[in-house]
């Protein structure tokens, strides 16, 4: 127990916990809607497309965060235009995903930069988050959560009963674009913590498990937030204790929880 | 507002009594005329059965009324307003089940999610919302399984949940797109009775799209029969008659009644069917 408090005296651990908490909170809320709307693959693809943005940003002298944000917002709104047909356009998403990853490799080879940076983009480097980045993450997450709050009722309606929502005059395409933009921001922030390859865990993991455990919207959202925070906190502390990467711990804990719900919950 | 319709058989009424008014409406989709010159006046609180074969334009007409499908000619007035401007008056039950099969949400939360869904803000739980959800589930007869997960409900139960979603915001018009499809006769009767009860309790206008007229006999006030892009609105006996349907289809049709059920016979091929499509 004493060693736990020793970790907390380090700035980089406190920064990591703070950033991790923000991202877990946002990811848990957005992730719940990802599951409701059944767009898990699109979320996964957005994160990988972000990799191209990060490597491209290095080439054009931007920060990786702004590069990822830019490209995933563009990709997100394009996906949003296909509206509620998104679940069925796996081929289109897959094609865009592969071409952007191809482009990412090109940027990487042109840049000839420091290879360590690539690995932190892919697998995350939560202990390397600078205080200035912390401020960016906080601001982006606060804006996203604000936007979700404003449109959550409509988004819930449009996600759960799209035909009725359209009949009542809600534009499904507009809400799909809005949602994908919010998802793009969340995915970008989550990749700062666990890296672009593992974003799926943090966005979809807690919400997916929460969805299996609960029967109503509010218990589901709260359960998802709880699982997200617990996972990120224990992942970071376990990483301190073992010197293994936090991304490994976070994804393993979520997989373990998923396994438990699969075994113990009868459908 | 002037609402004189050339085809109106009823006496001239005030526009405030109309829930829906179609005047010489034509709809084109992909260069093809789906609806040709349809006029109809529907009063508030009427139960209208909308019948006709597949491809007769029933769903297209409903979409035009909702403002989701542009129409080329004519005037549609929905509670005195053009389509798309009074949509919060509508309760709509789609034909296809658009709720995800895998959802673990309970029927109650699925209905709650729809409550005042076009508002902005956070859907905080409240006692008013709970009461509205309870009332909708009760109207739709879905209370007994409201807390079960949607994914494990039977087909008939799922339809009741969708019906509850359609009635929760006390719509002035309920549009039901083939709610009887894929239900067995017993469940069909239960659902029709349930909808007749909703009409009695809420005084909503009901547009009930169906394949077969028989489950709706005795429940609907008037019938709108659609075929080949044309439509005829009137009392059941007037519209589903040999003469009327022969004119609508453009081929000789015999309508016979046997044991209280209507049968439509194509006079040329002698294939009899319960009053539905060919």
Return the SS3 of B18. strand
At B213-239, the pLDDT tens digits run 899 998 999 999 998 888 999 999 899
Q: What does the pLDDT read at residue B271?
A: 61
Return mean pLDDT, chain A: 89
On chain B, the residues whose CB falls within 8 A of the CB of A169 are 67, 84, 87-88, 118
CA dist A159 and A83 (Å) reads 11
Quote ipTM for the complex.
0.87
The predicted model gives B39-63 an average pLDDT of 90
The predicted model gives A135-147 an average pLDDT of 94
Most confident of A120-134, B7-21, B148-162: B148-162
Q: Say yes or no for a CB contact (<8 Å) between B109 and A217.
A: yes
Q: Which residues of B touch A (CB under 8 A)?
A: 66-68, 84, 87-88, 90-94, 96, 98-100, 102-106, 108-110, 112-114, 116-123, 125, 147, 149, 151-152, 162, 165-166, 175
CA dist A52 and A48 (Å) reads 7
At B245-257, the pLDDT tens digits run 888 888 888 888 8
Cα torsion angle, A52, A58, A62, A65, sign? positive
* Residue spans of beta strands (DSSP E) within chain B: 18-29, 32-43, 47-51, 73-78, 90-93, 173-177, 205-209, 222-227, 230-234, 253-258, 261-266, 272-274
- Please report which confidence band the pLDDT of residue B29 belongs to, taking 50, 70 and 90 as the band edges: confident
Q: Kindly report the nearest CA distance between residue B94 and chain A, in angstroms.
A: 6
Q: Output the six-digit token pair for A132.
A: 């200035």
Q: What does the pLDDT read at residue B2?
A: 41
> Between B12 and B61, whose confidence is greater?
B61
Q: What does the pLDDT read at residue A198?
A: 85
Overall domain count for chain B: 1
Q: How far apart are the first and last CA of chain A?
A: 39
Q: What element of type H or E holds B86?
A: none
Q: Kindly report the nearest CA distance between residue A56 and chain B, in angstroms.
A: 37
Cβ(A90)–Cβ(A82) below 8 Å: no
Q: Kindly report the nearest CA distance between residue A245 and chain B, in angstroms.
A: 34
Nearest to A157 among B100, B114, B122 (CB): B114
Q: Say yes or no for a CB contact (<8 Å) between B84 and A169.
A: yes
> Count of alpha carbons within 13 Å of B47, Cβ hemisphere only?
21
The candidate with the shortest Cα–Cα distance to B172, out of B277, B88, B51, is: B88
Q: How far apart are the first and last CA of chain B?
A: 40
Give the distance from CA B8 to its chain's centroid.
Answer: 21
Q: Is B29 exposed, middle or buried (0-12, 13-18, 19+ CB in 10 A)?
A: middle
pLDDT at B7 over 80: no
The predicted model gives A252-262 an average pLDDT of 93
CA dist B192 and A64 (Å) reads 60
Q: Which residues pair with B43 in a beta bridge?
A: B18
Residue entry with tokens 């469940």: B187
User: How many angstroms separate the Cα of B27 from the Cα of each of A123, A179, B31, B224?
Assistant: 55, 33, 10, 17
The predicted model gives A144-167 an average pLDDT of 93
- Domain at B169, CATH number: 3.40.50.300
Would an 8 Å CB–CB cutoff place A112 in contact with chain B? no
- Please report which confidence band the pLDDT of residue A28 belongs to, taking 50, 70 and 90 as the band edges: very high
Q: What are phi and psi of A228, to 5 degrees?
A: -60, -50
Range of the domain at B256: 2-274
């Amino acid at each position: 127990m004493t060693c736990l408090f020793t970790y907390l005296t380090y700035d980089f651990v406190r920064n990591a916990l703070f950033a991790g908490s923000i991202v877990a909170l946002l990811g848990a809320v957005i992730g719940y809607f990802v599951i409701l709307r059944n767009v898990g693959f699109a979320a996964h693809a957005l994160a990988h497309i972000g990799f191209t943005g990060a490597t491209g940003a290095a080439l054009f002298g931007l920060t990786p965060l702004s590069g990822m944000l830019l490209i995933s917002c563009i990709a997100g709104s394009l996906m949003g235009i296909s509206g509620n047909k998104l679940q069925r356009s796996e081929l289109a998403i897959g094609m865009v995903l592969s071409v952007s990853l191809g482009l990412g490799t090109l940027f990487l080879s042109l840049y000839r930069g420091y290879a360590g940076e690539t690995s932190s983009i892919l697998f995350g480097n939560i202990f390397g988050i600078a205080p200035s980045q912390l401020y960016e993450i906080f601001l982006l997450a606060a804006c996203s959560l604000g936007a979700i709050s404003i449109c959550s009722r409509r988004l819930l309606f449009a996600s759960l009963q799209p035909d009725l929502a359209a009949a009542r005059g809600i534009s499904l395409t507009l809400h799909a674009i809005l949602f994908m933009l919010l998802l793009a921001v969340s995915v970008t922030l989550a990749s700062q913590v666990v890296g672009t390859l593992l974003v799926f865990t943090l966005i979809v993991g807690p919400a997916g498990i929460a969805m299996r455990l609960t029967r109503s919207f509010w218990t589901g959202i709260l359960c998802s937030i709880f699982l997200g925070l617990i996972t990120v906190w224990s992942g970071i502390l376990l990483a301190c204790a073992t010197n293994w990467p936090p991304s490994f711990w976070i994804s393993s804990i979520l997989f373990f929880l998923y396994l438990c719900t699969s075994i113990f919950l009868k459908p | 507002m002037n609402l004189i319709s050339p085809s109106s058989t009823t006496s001239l009424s005030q526009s405030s009594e109309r829930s829906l008014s179609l005047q010489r409406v034509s709809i084109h989709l992909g260069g093809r005329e789906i609806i040709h010159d349809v006029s109809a006046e529907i009063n508030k609180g009427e139960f209208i059965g909308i019948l006709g074969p597949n491809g007769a334009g029933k769903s297209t007409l409903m979409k035009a009324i909702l403002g989701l499908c542009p129409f080329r000619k004519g005037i549609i007035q929905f509670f005195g307003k053009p389509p798309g401007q009074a949509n919060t008056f509508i309760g709509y039950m789609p034909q296809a089940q658009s709720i995800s099969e895998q959802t673990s949400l309970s029927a109650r939360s699925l209905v709650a999610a729809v409550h005042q869904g076009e508002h902005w803000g956070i859907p905080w739980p409240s006692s008013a919302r709970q009461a509205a959800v309870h009332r909708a589930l009760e109207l739709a007869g879905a209370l007994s399984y409201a807390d079960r997960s949607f994914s494990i409900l039977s087909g008939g139960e799922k339809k009741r949940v969708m019906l509850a979603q359609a009635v929760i915001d006390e719509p002035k018009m309920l549009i039901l797109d083939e709610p009887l499809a894929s239900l067995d006769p017993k469940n069909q009767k239960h659902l029709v009775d349930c909808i007749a009860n909703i009409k009695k309790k809420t005084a909503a206008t009901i547009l009930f799209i169906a394949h077969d007229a028989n489950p709706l006999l005795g429940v609907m006030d008037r019938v709108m029969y659609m075929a080949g892009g044309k439509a005829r609105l009137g009392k059941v006996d007037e519209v589903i008659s040999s003469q009327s349907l022969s004119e609508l289809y453009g081929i000789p049709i015999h309508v016979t009644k046997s044991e209280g059920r209507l049968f439509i016979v194509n006079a040329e091929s002698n294939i009899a069917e319960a009053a539905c499509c060919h």
